[in-house]
Amino acid sequence: MATAVNAMEKNVSSLMDMTLEEIKRMSPSEIRIHIEKSKNSKLTFVSAFPAIGRGNVLRENLATTEQLNAGVDEILRNE
């Protein structure tokens, strides 16, 4: 069992190019920034339904913060 658990810990360490302890200490934002830098692209929020999950009302309409802000700004401009 220890070997199987270690496989993920080792792989994640390798994917992130940092120790497991460093990863555990990082905040979600820090992790996001680190991965975006290494991939040179923005993190994408996706819906994996129906592969997993028990229903997601945002299935077809996932929006980034930027898109939401742009949408709201557009509404406010027209008011």
Partner 1 sequence: MNEQDVYEFYNNTTKIVYVDIEARGNIAPVELLFEIHAAFDHLKRFHLGEKTEDEACQKALIHLKRASLDGYKLILYDFHEHYNKLIGHDTEHLRMIDNGQFLPKAIKLRNQIVDTARTARKNEGVTSIEESFDYWNRVYALIIQFEKEFLDDDKIDWAKIEGKTKARRSLRKDVLLALIVGIIAGIIATVIYNHVF
Give the whole-angstrom CA distance, residue 32 versus residue 34.
5
Q: How far apart are CA 47 and CA 45, in angstroms?
A: 7
Is residue 46 near partner 1 by the rule CB under 8 A? yes
Distance of closest approach, residue 69 Cβ to partner 1, in angstroms: 18
Do 11 and 5 meet the contact criterion of CB atoms below 8 Å apart?
no
Of the candidate residues 19, 22, 43, 74, the single one contacting partner 1 (CB under 8 A): 43
One residue of 24, 60, 78, 79 binding partner 1 per CB under 8 A: 24
The span from the CA of 9 to the CA of 21, in Å, is 10
If one asks whether residue 75 binds partner 1 (CB under 8 A), the answer comes out as no
d(CA 63, CA 57): 12
Contact residues: partner 1, CB under 8 A: 1, 3-5, 7-9, 11-12, 15-16, 20, 23-24, 31-32, 35-36, 39, 41-49, 51-53, 56, 58, 62
